Structure 1
Amino acid sequence: MEHVVKTVGGPSPVRTPADTPAAAPEPAARSGRHANSALVVLFLSLGGLAFAVLQSLVAPALPIIAQDLHSSTGDISWVLTAYLLSASVLTPILGRLGDMVGKRKMMLVVLVLLAAGTLLAALATTLPVLIAARALQGAAGAIMPLSIGIVRDELPREKVSVTVGLLSAIFGIGAGLGIVLAGPIVEHLSWQWLFWFPLMLIGVALVGVLFGVPESPLRAPGRLDVLGAAILSVSLVSLLLAISKGREWGWDTTRTITLLAVGVLALIAFVLVELRVREPLINMRLLAVRGVWATNLVGLAFGFAMFGTFLLIPMLLELPTATGYGFGKTVSQAGLFLMPTTLMMLVFGPLSGVLNRRHGPKLPLFLGAALVTAAYALPAVVHDQLWHLVASGVLTGAGMGLAFAAMSNAIIASVPATHTGEATSVNSIVRTIGGSIGTAVVAAVIAGNTTPRGLPTDQAFTSGFWVCAGVAALAVVASLILPSARSRRAGQVAAGADAAPGEVAERLTSAGVR
Structure 2
Amino acid sequence: MRRSSTGAGPHTSWNARLVGLIVVLALVNFVVDSAITAPLLVLPEMLDHFDTDQPAWLNATAMLAGVMWAPLLGKAADIHGTRKVLVLTLLLGGAGSLICAVAPHIALFVAGRMLQGASLAAVFLAVAIVRDACAPRIAMIAVGIVTSSSAVLNIASRFLIERLATAFGFHVLFFVSAFVAAAMAITVRTTIAESRTRTPGKLDLGGAVLLGGGLAGVLGYISLGSSLGWLAAPPLALLAVGVVALVWWFVGASRKPEPLIDVRNIGGPLKLTLLVIFLGAGAYQSMLQLIPLVGAVPAERGLGYGLAGQGSVALLLAVPAIGLVVGGPVAGWLAARIGPAATLAGGVVLGFVVSLGMLLGVAQLPVALCSAFLLGVTAGAIATSGFNTAAALAPTERQGVVSSLVVVGVSIGSVALDFVGSAVLSSTVVVVDGETMNSATGVFSYIAIASAAFAIAAVVAGGLVRRTRANRTPSAPGLERNPA
Aligning the two structures, in what range does the TM-score lie when normalised by the shorter sequence? 0.7 to 0.9
Match of 2:458 among 456, 476, 480: 476
Contact 1:56 1:178 (C-alpha < 8 Å) held by counterparts: no
CA 1:386 to 1:88, structure 2 compared with 1: closer, same or farther past 3 Å?
same
Contact 2:352 2:455 (C-alpha < 8 Å) held by counterparts: yes
* Residue equivalent to 1:138: 117
The residue identity in structure 1 corresponding to 2:285 is: F
Match of 1:307 among 285, 288, 306: 285
CA deviation string 1:26-53 (max 9, x = no partner):
7468656989322322222222211222
1:299 & 1:112 partners in 2: Cα distance? 27
CA 1:264 to 1:421, structure 2 compared with 1: closer, same or farther past 3 Å?
farther
2:362 & 2:109 partners in 1: Cα distance? 38
Q: Secondary structure at the match of 1:338?
A: helix
Contact 2:331 2:380 (C-alpha < 8 Å) held by counterparts: yes
Q: Secondary structure at the match of 1:214?
A: coil
Q: Which 5+ residue runs of structure 1 have no aligned equivalent?
A: 1-23
CA deviation string 1:344-392 (max 9, x = no partner):
1101101100001111112211111111111111233675432221221
State yes or no: 1:508 paired with 2:482: yes
* CA apart distance, 1:341: 1.7
The residue identity in structure 2 corresponding to 1:49 is: F
The residue identity in structure 1 corresponding to 2:430 is: T
1:455 & 1:127 partners in 2: Cα distance? 21
Match of 1:422 among 401, 406, 410: 401
Correspondence list, 1:306-325, <5 A: 306-324=284-302, 325=304
Contact 1:180 1:335 (C-alpha < 8 Å) held by counterparts: yes
CA deviation string 1:121-149 (max 9, x = no partner):
44555655544433332222211221111
Q: Secondary structure at the match of 1:452?
A: strand
* Residue equivalent to 1:463: 445
1:353 & 1:112 partners in 2: Cα distance? 29
Which stretch shows the higher mean deviation, 351-360 or 448-457? 448-457
* Residue equivalent to 1:50: 31
* CA apart distance, 1:434: 1.6
CA 1:82 to 1:484, structure 2 compared with 1: closer, same or farther past 3 Å?
closer
Match of 1:451 among 417, 421, 430: 430
* Residue equivalent to 2:417: 438
CA 1:81 to 1:478, structure 2 compared with 1: closer, same or farther past 3 Å?
closer
CA deviation string 1:292-326 (max 9, x = no partner):
11111111112331234223333333322323434
Match of 1:368 among 347, 354, 365: 347
* CA apart distance, 1:478: 1.4
1:130 & 1:451 partners in 2: Cα distance? 28
Contact 1:378 1:392 (C-alpha < 8 Å) held by counterparts: yes
Q: Which 5+ residue runs of structure 2 have no aligned equivalent?
A: none
2:279 & 2:332 partners in 1: Cα distance? 21
Correspondence list, 1:8-407, <5 A: 24=1, 27=4, 31=8, 36-62=17-43, 64-65=45-46, 71-73=50-52, 79-80=58-59, 82-124=61-103, 129-170=108-149, 182-290=161-269, 292-324=270-302, 325-327=304-306, 329=308, 333-380=312-359, 384-407=363-386
2:170 & 2:188 partners in 1: Cα distance? 29
CA 1:179 to 1:447, structure 2 compared with 1: closer, same or farther past 3 Å?
farther
Contact 2:47 2:53 (C-alpha < 8 Å) held by counterparts: no
CA 1:449 to 1:72, structure 2 compared with 1: closer, same or farther past 3 Å?
closer
2:243 & 2:157 partners in 1: Cα distance? 32
Q: Secondary structure at the match of 2:312?
A: helix
Contact 1:114 1:202 (C-alpha < 8 Å) held by counterparts: yes
* CA apart distance, 1:327: 4.3
The residue identity in structure 2 corresponding to 1:447 is: S
Equivalent residue pairs, number? 476
Which stretch shows the higher mean deviation, 25-34 or 98-107? 25-34
Q: Secondary structure at the match of 1:224?
A: coil
1:250 & 1:264 partners in 2: Cα distance? 19
The residue identity in structure 2 corresponding to 1:287 is: I
Which stretch shows the higher mean deviation, 303-312 or 464-473? 303-312
1:486 & 1:426 partners in 2: Cα distance? 19
CA deviation string 1:172-220 (max 9, x = no partner):
7788888665532211333232023223422332122111111111121
1:460 & 1:450 partners in 2: Cα distance? 7
1:304 & 1:33 partners in 2: Cα distance? 34
CA deviation string 1:397-456 (max 9, x = no partner):
222221211011010111112222222222212222222222222223333444332333
Contact 1:362 1:485 (C-alpha < 8 Å) held by counterparts: no
* CA apart distance, 1:240: 3.5
